[in-house]
Amino acid sequence: MKILIAADTYYPHVNGASYFARRLAYYLHRRGHHIRVIAPSRGFCNEVFEQDEVNVTGVRSMPALVYKNFRFSPRMIQGRAVQNAVLSWNPDIVHVQSHFFICKQVVKTAKKMGLPTIVTNHFMPENLIHYFPLPGFAKQWLKAWGWKQLANVFKDADIVTTPTRTAAQLLDKIGLNKEVLAVSCGIDLDRFHPLKGNGHLKLKYKIPEDKKILLYVGRLDKEKNIDLILHGFSQVAHLLDLHLVIAGKGAEEKNLKQLVHESGLGARATFTGFVPDEQLPGLYAAAQCFIIAGTAELQSIVTMEAMASELPVIAARAMALPELVQHGVTGCLFEPGDETGIADCLTNVFQNETSRKEMGKASLLAIEKHDIRKIINQFERIYQKLLCDYGK
């Protein structure tokens, strides 16, 4: 099949939607499909480049003022680059990853050409609106407007998918009036699995050798609530022989480091900065538990990576995280915003070594159904059915 993947966020952007689009393109390519990606360029000019053996058409883009690691391609600077890319390649099927600038134009062009179109939603307005210094009522309006824009684009697609049942129910609540299929983002179980021998990473990032490691991986941004993790950790730091490792970068890094200093946790926490993809499996393997406090997770790729690494997970009982983390089985859930709940989870997980290891084993077992090969099989079946519906 000739498959066109459209994404408004793509490598080297750091977020779940970007990672999913990149992996989808790579694994479909490895299956023998002909893949092309349309995504924001890495600079201001249009470009064509190769990423992971896949051809990428980069549409003229500009850096986002509120989040400098992200680039976007508003309609006013696109010209006809998007339309021309779709028309010239004439794919069998189009798979769009959002409802924003590039993807909106791809859906519009695909509809005119009569091309089968599938859209996958990774959008949660809470992951964006906190960047704007607006009063509460304005943020609520912006949130509703964002969902309305999504519905206006998605209504023209043949099939809508999203990573979890929770995310599918969310689209139903906004009145999309379309069947939404829950298809996991998937995880590469050949890359992420229990490992041994991680001394070089501990040495590189100055992580203590003799401490149990509580790990967070992801963006250091406001909606991830990493400050809550620090508050909860500080409540039990004197009771548990733990070291907190925070891996990633983001707008809140400076504030979080200041909070660590003010809380007297300087010797108990390590900020690694951005960790390259090839080092992530080893970093998970160096830990004994993973923690995530975000309340706007449509699935959470990092949580799946941690579970594949045989780690129990401490997570907020919010959005789709409880679909991954089963309380008392694969980890511990706390109520959103409850720092004491985090402290209690830390105590429960780390004071019983046998129970912690059993939860890690249960995590590994639970994640098997999310194997990326199984997920690619699901998407291939969706593509084939859609092509049959179009008589192709």
DSSP letter string, 30-71: HTT-EEEEEEE-SSSS-EEEEETTEEEEEE--EE-SS-TT-E
pLDDT at 232: 97
Which domain covers residue 273, as residue numbers? Answer: 199-370
Distance of alpha carbon 257 from its chain centroid, rounded? 24
Q: Let me know whether 15 and 117 are in one domain.
A: yes
Q: In this structure, are 220 and 265 located in the same domain?
A: yes
217 and 101 in one domain? no
- The pLDDT of residue 199: 65
Q: CA-to-CA distance for 230 and 211, rounded, in angstroms?
A: 17
Report yes or no on 193 lying in a domain.
no
pLDDT for the residue 16:
85
Check residue 67 and give its pLDDT.
Answer: 62
Residue 93 sits in the same domain as residue 155: yes
Is 171 a domain residue?
yes
- Rounded Cα–Cα distance for residues 316 and 305 (Å): 17
User: What beta strand segments (E) does the chain contain?
Assistant: 2-6, 34-40, 47-51, 54-59, 62-63, 71-72, 93-96, 117-120, 159-162, 180-182, 212-217, 242-247, 269-273, 289-292, 313-316, 331-334
What is the per-residue pLDDT for 3?
A: 98
The model's pLDDT over 208-248, given as tens digits with 9 standing for 90+, comes to 988 999 999 999 998 999 999 999 999 999 999 999 999 99
Q: 146: which DSSP letter? A: H
- Note whether residue 191 is domain-resident: no
Domain for residue 139, yes or no?
A: yes
Q: Check whether residue 26 and residue 160 sit in a common domain.
A: yes
| Alpha carbon 59 to its chain's center | 23
Give the model's pLDDT for residue 133. 66
Q: What is the pTM of this model?
A: 0.92
pLDDT at position 301, please?
94
Question: Is the residue at 194 inside a domain?
Answer: no
- Total domain count, the chain: 2
- Does 99 reside within a domain? yes
Residues 16 and 135 in one domain: yes
Q: What are the residue ranges in the chain where pLDDT is below 50?
A: none
Q: pLDDT value at position 318?
A: 96
Q: What's the CATH code of the domain at 212? A: 3.40.50.2000
Q: 258 phi and psi, to 5 degrees?
A: -65, -40
**Domain match, 152 and 234 both:** no
In a domain, 192, yes or no: no
236 and 332 housed in the same domain: yes
Q: Examine the domain organization and report whether 108 and 172 are in the same domain.
A: yes
CB contact set of 258 (below 8 Å; sequence gap of 6+)? none
- How many alpha carbons lie under 13 Å from residue 110 in its C-beta half-sphere? 26
Using CB atoms within 10 Å of the CB of residue 265, give its burial: 0 to 12 exposed, 13 to 18 middle, 19+ buried: middle
Question: Are 235 and 277 in the same domain?
Answer: yes
Does 385 lie in the same domain as 334?
no
210 and 129 in a single domain? The answer is no
Instruction: Quote the pLDDT of residue 129.
Output: 66
Q: Is residue 241 part of a domain?
A: yes
The confidence score (pLDDT) of residue 196 equals 64
Instruction: Summarize pLDDT for 55-84 with one digit per residue, the tens.
Output: 999 999 988 776 666 888 888 888 899 999
